[in-house]
Amino acid sequence: MSILKKLTIKHNSDKHGSHFYTKIYERYMLPKKNKSITIFEIGIGGYNNGNYSDINLGGESLRVWRDYFLKGKVIGLDIFKKEINLGPRVKIIQGSQSSANCLFKIIKKFKKFDFIVDDGSHNSKDVIFSFKYLFNSLKEGGYYFIEDTQASYIREFGGDGAFLDNKKTAMNYFKKMVDKINYQEIENPFYKPDEFAKNITEISFFHNMIVIKKEKNLEKSNILVNNRRLVSGSSYIKLRLFIKNLKYLALYLKAKINYLLISFKI
């Protein structure tokens, strides 16, 4: 049995039992187990009588991270006030994961994180907002974990189990990241990579979990140059280049029309 699994059982964390996340976490966290890392988790827990508002309950996962990363700093955020003393290396903050002001204060105080774990509201809107806001505070080579992605299929959490292509769900938001990772392979000179395309090299989908690695995405295409196929040969090269650019423009306009039609249909 792994150390992380033992700790989740010891501290009664649902990261093992209700879910089976420990083997996933250990895959990414083990190399930094003995390092001076900073981990930030959204959601402290403490479920009792139908809610999480008891100030003395929760912190199971924070205890796990505290005991796993013996040199680490642990930050926990919860919308409910929590008065739990977990030692000097664990800081608990009250606030909402969908509050820019709250997240700004956390980033200002703690700067950068090696790991960020979203085990908060699981509402798609909150999950997407937190990721967009916190991504730049993730260290180079750091990992962002999103738990309980089943919420993308459940209406109560802003999910949709009937129309699986609903672009408002967290799952579909992160599916688009697969295209972004491959932005240098997209044959479309009009494609403009954003900060996520330029700074994500890995995204892994597991049962109920997504893992994203922040890292400079610098690998070039072995086929395209600046998102286009080069025109070979010297004869009529300007004319051939002009024709190819017209083709790219036509494909670009066709794609835009398709997006509009899909949006109108929804």
User: What is the residue extent of each domain of the chain?
Assistant: 3-223, 231-266
**Residue 236, pLDDT above cutoff 70:** no
Question: What's the CATH class of domain 3-223?
Answer: alpha beta
Instruction: Please compute the mean of the pLDDT values over residues 133-158 and round it to a whole number.
Output: 96
List C-alpha distances in Å: 115 to 37, 150, 224: 8, 21, 34
* More confident site: 28 or 188: 28
Structure confidence at residue 31 as a pLDDT band (50, 70, 90)? very high
Which range has the worst mean pLDDT, 4-8, 178-182, 248-252, 260-264?
260-264
What is the pLDDT of the chain when averaged over all its residues? 91
Q: Tell me, what's the pLDDT at 263?
A: 66
> What are 94-102's contacts with CB under 8 Å, separation 24+?
97/42, 97/43, 97/121, 97/126, 97/129, 97/130, 98/125, 98/126, 98/129, 98/130, 100/133, 102/77
Structure confidence at residue 18 as a pLDDT band (50, 70, 90)? confident
Q: Tell me, what's the pLDDT at 262?
A: 66
Q: Tell me, what's the pLDDT at 248?
A: 72
CA-wise closest residue to 1 among 20, 14, 18: 20
Tokens 């299929």 -> residue: 153
